[in-house]
Amino acid sequence: MSVADEEPALLGLAPVAPDRTVAYGPHPDQLVDVYAPRAGDGGRAAVRGPLVVLLHGGFWRAAYDRRHLSPLAAELAGHGMPVALAEYRRVGAGGGAPQTFEDVTAAIGAAHAALARTVADPAVVLVGHSAGGHLALLAAARPGTPVTRVLAVSPVADLARAHELGLSDGAVAELLGAGPGLPERLAAADPARHPPAGVPVTILHGTDDPDVPVELSRRYAARSPGTTDLRELPGVGHYAPVTPGSPSCHTLVGCLS
């Protein structure tokens, strides 16, 4: 698959309905979709993997929602993992800082409460793609969350550098709000400034990613060499790692199995 074909390959997949949906607040986007572990024949399966909370990307904007990662959620459930696919308020629909960050923390708590009884070890593995990778890294650094591991895929891991580059027509400034105090808000929301203490981080990032340059993950890993395992995917772009059936998605599943 060429890098240019990756986005239509992912977005062309039919959404997969969850087993149930849990609300964690009154806003329509404060939801968590639950996918129970599945056997090969589609029936329920014994749990063989961790409790996964999945955070989608889309540069924090309301134009992108969780449905494009529902095939990945179903894929992980098919490998024996209980999965919670989180939605959150986004820029343009009641989100942005701090609401988006507050929602992610609340969604993790709701997912943990909904799924903890299904696993022997109720600790949470956060899996985030793109802007969702940023949110996963940032959430794992907050005290009190039940997160024991992070798998960040093509993440916006260095927010200051993303802002310097003007990624996606100034998405970082849209998230944080331009104007007075932006440098302080940027520092507070930058995962590269706040690596999670004691939480191991694995980053998967394609070397040919045109949307979020691999440079951002390299900068993050350089700041936290003891706890971050950066795995670069040669010739891979932005979407293949979260597209079921692709070789790089097999790598992602292997990181969780």
Please state whether 145 falls in left (phi above 0), alpha (psi between -120 and 50) or beta.
beta
Rounded to 5°, angle at Cα 203 from 131 and 108: 55
Calculate mean pLDDT across residues 2-29: 95
Q: How confident is the model at residue 41 (pLDDT cuts 50, 70, 90)?
A: low
**What is the model's pLDDT at position 143?**
86
**What is the model's pLDDT at position 117?**
75
- The share of the chain scoring above pLDDT 70, in percent, equals 95
180 upstream amide cis, omega within 30 of 0: no
Q: How confident is the model at residue 119 (pLDDT cuts 50, 70, 90)?
A: confident
Angle, helices 247-256 vs 70-77, to 10°: value is 50
**What is the model's pLDDT at position 38?**
78
Q: Are 212 and 171 in contact (CB under 8 A)?
A: no
Against a cut of 0.85, is the pTM above it? yes
Run of H or E including 6: helix 3-11
Determine the Cα–Cα distance for residues 135 and 127; give it in Å rounded to an integer: 10
> Which residues are CB-neighbours of 183 under 8 A, at least 6 positions away?
none
Instruction: Count the neighbouring beta carbons within 10 Å of the beta carbon of residue 167.
Output: 19
Q: Are 50 and 149 in contact (CB under 8 A)?
A: yes
**Which residues, listed in sequence order, are joined to residue 151 by a DSSP beta bridge?**
127, 202
Token pair of 153, please?
Answer: 């895929």
DSSP H helices, 94-203, are 99-115, 131-140, 159-165, 167-176, 182-188
